[in-house]
Structures are given as structure tokens and as C-alpha cells.
């Protein structure tokens, strides 16, 4: 893991069991799903399937981006201001 990935991994928080299960099931959680190893953040329903140990959650897109994550190209990234 790179230095930047380590810094990203220390940001946000780990998903709770119920949140992770909902996200994997494609259910809306309203959270921003960020992956420390890739540096991207995703919305609910993104087809990307990162390992839970690399996943950090944020309440808002702004928090995720302040921590060094950028929006996913596949889903447009998480957060309420993201395009549908
Ligand atoms: Zn995505």
C-alpha cells in the first residue's frame, strides 16, 4: 500500500456490518463508499466490488474528496450532489 493509500485508509470510518451487507445487496445506504487502495469514491449500486478491508465510508462527497478520494468513472461517485 502506498503512503497516499495509507493516509486515505486512515480517513472516514469502516462500514458497519449492516451497511456493508446493504451495499453489497445493492440497497441504498445514502453513504459515500470510498476505496483506500484505488482512491475513488462510489455511490450505492456501483458495480465495483472492493474488499471490505479497503473500504471507508463518508457521510458526504465533500468529506471523501477532502480526504483525497475522487469520483468513480463508472458510477459518478457518491454523495447527494452526484448525478443520478
Ligand atoms: Zn463507482
Looking at the 3D structure of the chain, how many domains does it have? 1
Instruction: State in Å: Cα 67 to ligand 1 middle.
Output: 17
Q: Is residue 55 part of a domain?
A: yes
Rounded to the nearest angstrom, the distance between the alpha carbon of 64 and the centre of ligand 1 is 13
Query: For residue 78, is it within any domain?
Result: no
| pTM of the model as a whole | 0.90
Distance (Å, rounded) from C-alpha 79 to C-alpha 44?
A: 9
CATH of the domain at 40: 3.40.10.10
Indicate if the alpha-carbon torsion angle 29, 79, 51, 46 is positive or negative.
Answer: positive
In a domain, 79, yes or no: no
Q: Which residue range is the domain that position 64 belongs to?
A: 3-71
54, HSE (Cβ side, Cα atoms, 13 Å) = 15
Measured in Å, residue 62 CA sits from the centre of ligand 1 at 16
Q: What is the pLDDT along the chain (84 residues), one digit of tens a residue?
A: 899 999 999 999 999 999 999 999 989 999 999 999 999 999 998 988 899 999 999 999 999 999 999 999 999 999 865 445
CA of 3 to the centre of ligand 1 (A): 23
Output the CA 48–ligand 1 centroid distance in Å. Answer: 6
Amino acid at each position: 500500500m502506498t503512503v497516499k493509500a495509507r493516509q486515505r485508509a486512515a480517513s472516514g470510518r469502516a462500514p458497519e456490518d449492516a451497511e456493508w451487507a446493504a451495499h453489497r445487496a445493492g440497497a441504498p445506504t445514502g453513504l459515500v463508499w470510498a476505496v483506500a487502495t484505488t482512491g475513488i469514491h462510489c455511490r450505492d449500486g456501483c458495480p465495483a466490488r472492493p474488499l471490505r478491508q479497503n473500504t471507508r465510508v463518508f457521510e458526504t462527497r465533500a468529506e471523501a474528496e477532502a480526504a483525497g478520494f475522487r469520483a468513480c468513472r463508472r458510477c459518478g461517485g457518491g454523495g447527494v450532489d452526484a448525478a443520478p
